Amino acid sequence: MQTRTLGRTGLTVGVIGLGTEYLLDVPRGTVVSVVRQAVAAGVNYFDVLFAQPHYLDNLGAAFQGLREKILITGHLGSAVQDGQYRRSRDVRECEELFHDLLRRLGTEYVDVAFLSNCDEQADYERVMGPGGLGELAVRLQREGQARFIGLSGHQVPVASKAVASGVVDVLMHSLNLSGDATPGRKQLYHACAAQGVGLIAMKPFAGGSLLQNGTAVPPTPVQCLSYALSQPAVATVVPGVKDPSELEAALAYLDASEQERDFSAVVGRFQRDTQGRCVYCNHCLPCPAGIDVGKTIRLSDSARHGVSAALAEEYAALPAGASACLECGDCMERCPFQVDVISKMRQAARVFERNASRPL
């Protein structure tokens, strides 16, 4: 399993994690099989969304003996009513449910406590305001019951505020080929990268709709996962699966060839304004100077919001700096999106190398 660092938490996560929402109503044996198969493949990040007792008990059985090997999240704000999911902002109720989650999962802490499903401005203010769930999360962190604080949601304005707040270490956000056409999404991901907020990509298949894309040839699960993992700040992607065969389809990413991971042929179908804009697909390689073109442009784009230590470190670890560009233009002939790579390389060199040891 390839691993990445989850932003400023410093946690190491496998690039494929697991969303467990589709395990809500499946038999315990299946839940145990899916979790064990995932761990055997190197998955170490498990998002635990719901508060339903049977779901937590099943996951608790599946996690038995694995706690030291895996990262577990919990969601503050996920409650139950008549057996169904209900969003709650009642602090006392959420604290009780959080302790129930710990007990049923057989653990004393979660690695990330998410302020769950927060999308509207008024709700964000309530959650982060005095006496809100944000205060509960901070207290749980102080008491050692939550290592880090996250926020999960789907809307750019609220997520952007959370990223800028300094309170939230991790953002779990819907991120997929079709949703990324929405204005502001890319800036949000770059802001996460610049602020050191670890990004968890959820809904990589847009709830499955991407895989049934009408009459056109739909993208493969591997292409969807590859796209999510190519975006700024993304540390892991958490596909939801309901059985071992769906898990296998997601894990196929790990053994897929570069050709199978290449999403450049499908991205234009979902994002109309891709011309001239780099989607970090690396379809333009090889580069005679050994430059990782997609990653270099991604880091440079993220640095528009400021060059954080993490961005500088990632740039320094690249096999070749942008200043090594020979301006041969080979990559530009191969780029399906007419990106002016030479200008991008000049810009990256200006941003990252002006005061660094690498010569311009």
State the nearest-atom distance from the C-beta of 203 to ligand SF4, in Å: 23
Bridge partners for 234 per DSSP: 199
State the nearest-atom distance from the C-beta of 307 to ligand SF4, in Å: 20
CB nearer ligand SF4, residue 118 or residue 293: 293
In terms of DSSP bridges, do strands 18-19 and 45-47 run parallel, antiparallel, or are they unpaired? Answer: parallel
Which class for 73: exposed (0-12), middle (13-18), buried (19 or more C-beta within 10 A)? buried
State the nearest-atom distance from the C-beta of 130 to ligand SF4, in Å: 45
The single-letter code of the amino acid at 352 is: F
CB nearer ligand SF4, residue 73 or residue 300: 300
CB nearer ligand SF4, residue 71 or residue 287: 287
What residues line the site for ligand SF4 (CB under 6 A)? 264, 278-284, 287-289, 291, 293-294, 297, 325-331, 335, 337, 339, 341-342, 345
Bridge partners for 84 per DSSP: 81
CB nearer ligand SF4, residue 73 or residue 274: 274
CB nearer ligand SF4, residue 145 or residue 264: 264
State the nearest-atom distance from the C-beta of 324 to ligand SF4, in Å: 7
For 211-266, give the DSSP string.
GG-TTSPPPPHHHHHHHHHTSTTEEEEE-B-SSHHHHHHHHHHHH--HHHH--HHH
**What separation, in Å, do the N-terminal and C-terminal C-alpha atoms of the chain show?**
36
CB nearer ligand SF4, residue 102 or residue 279: 279
In terms of DSSP bridges, do strands 45-47 and 84-87 run parallel, antiparallel, or are they unpaired? Answer: unpaired
The single-letter code of the amino acid at 228 is: A
State the nearest-atom distance from the C-beta of 303 to ligand SF4, in Å: 16
State the nearest-atom distance from the C-beta of 179 to ligand SF4, in Å: 19
Compute the residue count for the chain.
360
Residue that is written with structure tokens 């770059």 in the block: 190
In the sheet with 198-202, reading across from the earlier edge strand, the strands are: 18-19, 45-47, 71-76, 110-115, 146-153, 170-174, 198-202, 234-238
CB nearer ligand SF4, residue 210 or residue 331: 331
State the nearest-atom distance from the C-beta of 286 to ligand SF4, in Å: 8
CA distance 75 to 150: 9
